[in-house]
Amino acid sequence: DGGITQSPKYLFRKEGQNVTLSCEQNLNHDAMYWYRQDPGQGLRLIYYSQIVNDFQKGDIAEGYSVSREKKESFPLTVTSAQKNPTAFYLCASSEDRSRMNTEAFFGQGTRLTVV
């Protein structure tokens, strides 16, 4: 089955800890994205990557880091510098951002809670 997989589905973090959210896709998509969603809110862009070994900050990148060492994988690390990390995190991919007209495919999300 082709798709985009996020893990884990639920994640609990203690204060001051870094945690890494996994995102893998087997759609052969060039572009990958991370969004954060708070209750009753829309999606806010954290980071995006158009090609391997390259990524760009989104609107709310502070306290987060990413890597894109493989085309299929785009992990997100929530660092201790992120003061309010409790949220629903969504990873997405699309064929090629430069075409500007391709749909995004989303994973099922990771719900992160600080305990």
Partner 1 sequence: SQKIEQNSEALNIQEGKTATLTCNYTNYSPAYLQWYRQDPGRGPVFLLLIRENEKEKRKERLKVTFDTTLKQSLFHITASQPADSATYLCALNRRALTFGSGTRLQVQP
Residues that bind partner 1 (CB under 8 A): 31, 33, 35, 40-43, 45, 48, 56, 58, 88, 90, 92, 94, 97, 100-101, 103-109, 111
C-alpha distances in angstroms, 77 versus 12, 16, 100?
13, 13, 27
Q: What's the CA gap between 13 and 31, in Å, rounded?
A: 28
Cβ 72 to partner 1 shortest distance, Å: 18
Q: Residue 27 or 80: which CB sits closer to partner 1? A: 27
Cβ 104 to partner 1 shortest distance, Å: 5
Cβ 39 to partner 1 shortest distance, Å: 11
**Cβ–Cβ under 8 Å, residues 86 and 103:** no
Q: Residue 17 or 56: which CB sits closer to partner 1? A: 56
Q: Residue 1 or 103: which CB sits closer to partner 1? A: 103
C-alpha distances in angstroms, 71 versus 19, 36, 51, 87?
21, 21, 7, 26
Residue with tokens 């391997």: 52
